[in-house]
Chains A and B, each alone.
Chain A
Amino acid sequence: MDFANFASQLNAGTILPEGIVMITLLGVLIVDLILGRTSARWIGYLATLGLTAAIIALYFQWDSTNPIAFTGSFNGDDLSIVFRGIIALSAMSTILMSIRYVEQSGTPLAEFIAILMTATLGGMFLSGANELVMIFISLEALSISSYLLTGYTKRDPRSNEAALKYLLIGASSTAVFLYGVSLLYGLSGGQTELSAIAQGIATANVGQSLGLVIALVFVIAGIGFKISAAPFHQWTPDVYEGAPTPVIAFLSVGSKAAGFALAIRLLTTVFPMVADEWRFVFTALAVLSMVLGNVVALAQTSMKRMLAYSSIAQAGFVMIGLIAGTDAGYSSMIFYLLVYLFMNLCGFTCVVLFSLRTGTDQISEYSGLYQKDPLLTLGLSVSLLSLGGIPPLAGFFGKIYLFWAGWQAGLYWLVLLGLITSVVSIYYYIRVVKMMVVKEPQEMSDVVKNYPQVRWDLPGLRPLQVGLIVTLIATTISGILSNPLFTLANNSVTNTPMLQAAKVVSTQVSVITNNESQEL
């Protein structure tokens, strides 16, 4: 193999955004080593700058003619670009909200940012990973950094417990995933690249065999863990309660988006033969997640725990698009994940802000907040109402698109369940709004009575404010002005050869199976 040919197969330009993130990550680490704690003042901005550059680089890769890189192990198609963008954006706003939070907890900021950016890197690679080993490595990079982030405030016993729980469950579910992946390697006759596996399985004629179904179930166990779909959700409430809040913001958006990216790529490319089976499994997961997430969230008293169950429920909504399996279904997923980014990060920014000022995040302590901190009240109300799907906020349009796509694909009962559980969800989202807005001044909680003077000039609060206002505006208007986002989501699906090819394969499969049944 001559070098020029090898370089063209390597096509290393595709991972330029990740390269930028990596350089920034190293920069953050080295600067911290040289300058020590004094660098904490501006190191967050350095990381933000790096992530911004990565997003700009992603923009220039849109519709790239030659997306396959690293001899087929990385695919930089439009689908991966959208997901990489979502992950980078979520990391960016996580950094904005963590500058103050991490400083206040007395832990070094640069290490935190370095680990967070490693997780980002893992998630971004996972979105484009096109090969089993690559998938596993990037999944592990994401997971291991997430364990570290969860236990980052190491003097807090709750954080320690959360990290231990997350580690034990996470490591075992990755092991299950790995076992499924190794089965795929075996079944396909030694292929690791996704499309080659599909071909290998088809030629080895093990389609719809027990081995493939077991591999499928094991893989779904790993994916379900990342997107916290019930019944693989048990870690979520405990981890969300124990871990530092910015970390949760990242886990609920970035890590979840990575999980969904993996789900789309893996399931559509490798498992077209058992498409009905994985749709069925995901229907069960979606039903369980919507019901359990929304119903159990009713009974929560801690804000972070409530948002944990809410994120389980929201994953259930997103799965409707995955089950639909049409172009509209995938793009409704992407659109929902985009607006979910805005609403959840806006909500978590407000939670971080409240706990920075008062040191607690019990729901009952929010009562009467509108008088002391109107901006926080507005931000949290808007983001929660948007999560509940109230017009004209972003979440309303996201849900409408999901339900519309689901209905078009004939998933009537799933959509109806989604509608019913959204009504349930309005109840617990509005409960917080009620605490903040409706309560009289004399019903104020003690914490709010002693609320400190709202100041934005303390170090690290200004980026928090910027993050809050940007996500708040995005949550408010990205529904009304949703056309660009809709176009983005739709194009990313229609321009992705993988998804279009998967459709062709699945129709071929159905034709083949029909012929077989006719012959029988």
Chain B
Amino acid sequence: MLSVLIWLPIIAAIIIGFYPAKDVPASQIRLVSLIVTGVVLLWNISILLKFDISNPGMQFTEYLPWNETLGLNYQLGVDGLSILMLILNSFLTWIAIYSSGKDTERPRLFYSLILFISGGVAGAFLSENLLLFFLFYELELIPFYLLISIWGGEKRAYAGMKFLIYTAISGALILATFLGMVWLTGSRSFAFDAVVTQNISAGMQLVLLAGIVLGFGIKIPLIPFHTWLPDAYVEASTPIAILLGGILAKLGTYGLLRFGLGMFPHAWQIIAPTLAIWGAISAIYGAVVAIAQKDIKRMVAYSSIGHMGYILLAAAAATPLALVGAVAQMFSHGIILAILFHLVGVIETKVGTRELDKLNGLMSPIRGLPLISALLVLSGMASAGIPGLTGFIAEFISFQGSFSTFPIPTILCVVASGLTAVYFVILLNRTCFGKLQNNLAYYPRVLWNEKVPALILAFLIIFLGVQPVWLVRWSETTTTAMVAAVPTTAKTVIALK
């Protein structure tokens, strides 16, 4: 059942890539990819509907022996930590394909790489085997490199290579840590449940955990490993930026939660204060640097760094509430970033610039882009944590959950959240408000299909903002079970009661 999520996109990617007919128009390939990802999305939703939220363990598990010598088996499963990420993956892939232009150059390679990535990411979220996870994790490397450096902006070659090297280093670190984990536990298999880290000495646990944090920290990204992000996000085209920010970054936080907190609960307690401060610094840094940007895409990119800081803080706190908040924040950051990148992409194609100094008065109802501007205001507010929208719910739960454990980093994150509002107000003020310049303002009309993805995402943002149960109910039991494994926090929770 879960295999469909991996193999349907990959098989479709192979068929699209190698289909012998020549000169198939881009729109047809786009349509086929849309249908495929639509089916995957529906399949994913049907899994979500059958998902038993009272079960903290893995569900719908699948097992196939593959390579006994390496301890690599095809083991899949889904739990509360990964179910939302799966939905996010198939949903954003659909959005990304929808928001790609109908006349993409080299369409077959483009859509086949996107579908390939979609299958690979699903595989990584579903894996129940460390080596299988790593395989799917590394699978993203080359397709993303190609997607950035073929269809990107002006400095795409540089951005693509930088992304490639950072991600490859991250992969090497993660592989080394995985090998260490499995070898030190004396396990013959890389399966999640076979790796019990309790027997490892405390010092070694810390070393391994450091490997996990650094490896996934590059992908999340945490400062100072974030320098690939602004280049990659800004140079990538809109659909690719949506995938990069919406899904790939989540692989990092997911890995941190699953392998860091999930597998090293004892060592996690030791480094949690450092991580909390690190998260707070990331959040403030992201916000402050975003304030200084003159390019709206760059602003959005740095906002992503800031929002990832909240997740790190919540993960470090490791209270039941904070972890629910972290998962919710991962999901809502995914959809908010997607809508922001989509809108920025629309503005760039219509107006022809992303510079804050040149954009003006897009709110103007007749000659401007009123609907796009309105949605931009909405998504900016969602990102800044205004109540009634999903961003607020996620941030609030995270902060609420973290405050009892790490009050000062939480307050710093709240300050960063305020700074987020600052740069989004700057952004909205310079782009949406003001007066249009008469001699320049002859923008093309915004087509219906350019509005659709943003409208869907905006609906989702508002819906989850007023009905947050649908955001948090999936992960509650799993995260509670994870917290129960962390020794000292459990005690403090009891003491507080």
Given contacts A403-B179, A407-B180, A430-B164, contact A437 B172 (CB under 8 A): no
Least Cβ–Cβ distance between A384 and chain B, in angstroms = 11
Least Cβ–Cβ distance between A499 and chain B, in angstroms = 17
Show 20 A/B contacts (Cβ-Cβ < 8 Å), sorted by A. A390-B142, A391-B135, A396-B135, A403-B179, A404-B179, A407-B180, A407-B183, A412-B180, A415-B176, A415-B179, A419-B172, A420-B172, A422-B172, A423-B171, A426-B164, A427-B161, A430-B145, A433-B142, A483-B67, A486-B69
Q: Nearest residue in A to B184 (C-beta to C-beta)?
A: A407
Q: Are B67 and A391 in contact (CB under 8 A)?
A: no
A314 CA to B137 CA in the complex, in Å?
Answer: 23
A197 CA to B386 CA in the complex, in Å?
Answer: 82
Total cross-chain contacts (CB, 8 A): 71
Q: Are B69 and A391 in contact (CB under 8 A)?
A: no
Helix, strand, loop or mixed for chain B's interface?
Answer: helix
Q: Are A416 and B164 in contact (CB under 8 A)?
A: no
Q: Are A407 and B179 in contact (CB under 8 A)?
A: yes
Map CB proximity to B onto A379-420 as digits: 1 under 8 Å, 0 otherwise: 000000100001110001100110110011000100110011
Q: Are A437 and B146 in contact (CB under 8 A)?
A: yes
Number of interface residues of A (CB under 8 A): 32
Q: Are B135 and A438 in contact (CB under 8 A)?
A: no
A 229-286 contacts with B by CB, 8 A? none
Interface flag for B288 (CB, 8 Å): no
Interface flag for B413 (CB, 8 Å): no
Interface flag for B168 (CB, 8 Å): yes
Least Cβ–Cβ distance between B18 and chain A, in angstroms = 9
A 468-504 contacts with B by CB, 8 A? 482-483, 486, 490
A328 CA to B165 CA in the complex, in Å?
Answer: 30
B 167-216 contacts with A by CB, 8 A? 168-169, 171-172, 175-176, 179-180, 183
Q: Are A434 and B149 in contact (CB under 8 A)?
A: yes
Residues of A within 8 A of B183 (CB): 407-408
Q: Are A438 and B165 in contact (CB under 8 A)?
A: no
Q: Nearest residue in B to A441 (C-beta to C-beta)?
A: B105
Residues of A within 8 A of B176 (CB): 415-416, 419
Interface flag for B157 (CB, 8 Å): yes
Interface flag for B138 (CB, 8 Å): yes
Least Cβ–Cβ distance between B205 and chain A, in angstroms = 16
Residues of A within 8 A of B168 (CB): 422-423, 426
Least Cβ–Cβ distance between B147 and chain A, in angstroms = 10
Map CB proximity to A onto B9-24 as digits: 1 under 8 Å, 0 otherwise: 0000000000000000
A62 CA to B59 CA in the complex, in Å?
Answer: 45
Interface flag for B70 (CB, 8 Å): yes
Q: Nearest residue in A to B17 (C-beta to C-beta)?
A: A378
Residues of A within 8 A of B145 (CB): 430
Q: Are B70 and A404 in contact (CB under 8 A)?
A: yes
A296 CA to B136 CA in the complex, in Å?
Answer: 30
Interface flag for B301 (CB, 8 Å): no
A438 CA to B136 CA in the complex, in Å?
Answer: 23
Least Cβ–Cβ distance between A130 and chain B, in angstroms = 28
B 130-166 contacts with A by CB, 8 A? 131, 135-136, 138-139, 141-142, 145-146, 149-150, 157, 160-161, 164-165
Q: Are B138 and A438 in contact (CB under 8 A)?
A: no
A452 CA to B389 CA in the complex, in Å?
Answer: 60
B 28-69 contacts with A by CB, 8 A? 66-67, 69
Instruction: Choose among B70, B157, B161, B164 the residue that contacts A400 (Cβ–Cβ < 8 A).
Output: B70
Q: Are B142 and A400 in contact (CB under 8 A)?
A: no
Q: Nearest residue in B to A487 (C-beta to C-beta)?
A: B69
* B residues whose Cβ falls under 8 Å from a Cβ of A: 66-67, 69-70, 131, 135-136, 138-139, 141-142, 145-146, 149-150, 157, 160-161, 164-165, 168-169, 171-172, 175-176, 179-180, 183
Given contacts A416-B176, A438-B149, contact A391 B139 (CB under 8 A): yes
Given contacts A434-B149, A438-B146, A438-B149, contact A403 B175 (CB under 8 A): yes
Q: Nearest residue in B to A422 (C-beta to C-beta)?
A: B172
A 414-459 contacts with B by CB, 8 A? 415-416, 419-420, 422-423, 426-427, 430, 433-434, 437-438
Residues of A within 8 A of B150 (CB): 437-438
Q: Are A482 and B67 in contact (CB under 8 A)?
A: yes
Q: Are A490 and B69 in contact (CB under 8 A)?
A: yes
Residues of B within 8 A of A490 (CB): 69
Residues of A within 8 A of B69 (CB): 328, 331, 401, 486, 490
Q: Are A434 and B157 in contact (CB under 8 A)?
A: yes
Least Cβ–Cβ distance between B143 and chain A, in angstroms = 10
A392 CA to B116 CA in the complex, in Å?
Answer: 12
Give the residue among A331, A404, A416, A433 with the most B Cβ atoms within 10 A.
A404
A 499-513 contacts with B by CB, 8 A? none
Q: Are A392 and B139 in contact (CB under 8 A)?
A: yes
Residues of A within 8 A of B157 (CB): 434, 438
Give the residue among A412, A422, A430 with the most B Cβ atoms within 10 A.
A430
Given contacts A423-B168, A438-B146, A490-B69, contact A400 B131 (CB under 8 A): yes
Not counting A407-B179, A486-B69, a sample of 9 additional A-B residue pairs whose C-beta atoms are within 8 angstroms of each other reads A331-B69, A391-B135, A391-B136, A401-B69, A403-B179, A404-B70, A412-B180, A430-B145, A438-B160
Q: Are A423 and B165 in contact (CB under 8 A)?
A: yes
A291 CA to B288 CA in the complex, in Å?
Answer: 40
Residues of A within 8 A of B146 (CB): 437-438
Q: Nearest residue in A to B171 (C-beta to C-beta)?
A: A423
Least Cβ–Cβ distance between A448 and chain B, in angstroms = 16
Instruction: Choose among A392, A408, A412, A420 the residue that contacts B135 (Cβ–Cβ < 8 A).
Output: A392
Least Cβ–Cβ distance between A297 and chain B, in angstroms = 15
Least Cβ–Cβ distance between A182 and chain B, in angstroms = 41
Q: Nearest residue in A to B149 (C-beta to C-beta)?
A: A438
Interface pairs A-B: 9 shortest CB-CB: A419-B172, A423-B168, A407-B179, A391-B135, A391-B138, A486-B69, A438-B149, A426-B168, A438-B150
Residues of A within 8 A of B175 (CB): 400, 403, 419
Give the residue among B142, B146, B149, B161 with the most A Cβ atoms within 10 A.
B142
Residues of A within 8 A of B160 (CB): 438
Least Cβ–Cβ distance between B199 and chain A, in angstroms = 17
Least Cβ–Cβ distance between B44 and chain A, in angstroms = 23
Residues of A within 8 A of B141 (CB): 390
Q: Nearest residue in B to A407 (C-beta to C-beta)?
A: B179
A397 CA to B66 CA in the complex, in Å?
Answer: 12
Least Cβ–Cβ distance between B144 and chain A, in angstroms = 12
Given contacts A404-B179, A419-B176, A426-B168, contact A486 B67 (CB under 8 A): yes
Residues of A within 8 A of B67 (CB): 397, 482-483, 486
Give the residue among A385, A400, A437 with the most B Cβ atoms within 10 A.
A400
A367 CA to B67 CA in the complex, in Å?
Answer: 38
Q: Nearest residue in A to B156 (C-beta to C-beta)?
A: A438
A401 CA to B164 CA in the complex, in Å?
Answer: 23
Residues of B within 8 A of A331 (CB): 69
A408 CA to B138 CA in the complex, in Å?
Answer: 22
Q: Are A427 and B138 in contact (CB under 8 A)?
A: no
Residues of B within 8 A of A397 (CB): 67, 70
A404 CA to B183 CA in the complex, in Å?
Answer: 9
A430 CA to B141 CA in the complex, in Å?
Answer: 11
Residues of A within 8 A of B142 (CB): 385, 390, 430, 433
Residues of A within 8 A of B172 (CB): 419-420, 422-423
Least Cβ–Cβ distance between B285 and chain A, in angstroms = 26
